[in-house]
Structure 1
Amino acid sequence: MTTIVRGTAGRRLCPAPNTTSEAMESVMPNRKAAPRSLRRASPPPLDPISIRISEVVRTTGLSRTKIYELIADGEIEAAKVGRATLVFVASLRSFLRAHPRPRHGGDRRSSRYESPRSPSSTPRMR
């Protein structure tokens, strides 16, 4: 296969490489790819030290108002940097571990949603 290559001297024909490896060999004929064992592995992703309020809301499901209340009460540690409020991830994790999800038995309703008296125990007026 031939392609037209434009240069300063006008048009000339030159063979086009068929594959990417052939293209690399034509540009760098003596260079060989490093074996996999010698290639650099990408570094593992870093865990963040702090996250913004919007990330806290997205990851925890709590409202912005509740997050700011927890910060004001000292239950979650945060820092103010310029206009950004940064919540420390370690503080957020320890807060969430200290407040586990309640486990319910067979009845999924909690006691606060049940009526204080059942209809059979309500005294009747005569």
Structure 2
Amino acid sequence: MDMPIAITIPDAVKASGMSRSSIYEALKRGDLSARKAGRRTLIAFSDLQAYLASLPEYKAGA
């Protein structure tokens, strides 16, 4: 299996290049969703991809 179904917060940080606090802020705003499995917070990999795709594009000189 190449792509995991869900990843933890530390794995989401590694996969996305975002900071831990940025991921928690996105969760708090409701821009990114997560599930709890016991004490672990899991983010669906497809949700992380969709969130990253929804971010604005970089425009030089903006």
**Aligned equivalents of 1:46, 1:62: Cα separation in 2:** 21
1:50 is aligned to 2:2: no
Find 2:25's aligned residue among 56, 69, 75: 69
| Identity %, equivalent residues | 34
Q: Which runs of 5+ in 2 are unaligned?
A: none
Q: Could you tell me how far 1:96 is from its partner in structure 2?
A: 0.8
Q: Which runs of 5+ in 1 are unaligned?
A: 1-44, 105-109, 112-126
Q: Given the two structures, how large is their TM-score scaled by the length of structure 2? A: 0.83
Larger CA Rg, structure 1 vs 2: 1
Superposition CA RMSD, Å: 1.5
**Aligned residue runs from structure 1 range 28-107, under 5 A:** 45-104=1-60
**Aligned equivalents of 1:73, 1:96: Cα separation in 2:** 15
**Aligned equivalents of 1:65, 1:57: Cα separation in 2:** 9
Secondary structure in 1 matching 2:43: strand
Aligned residues: 62
Runs of 4+ in 1 over 3 A off after TM superposition: none
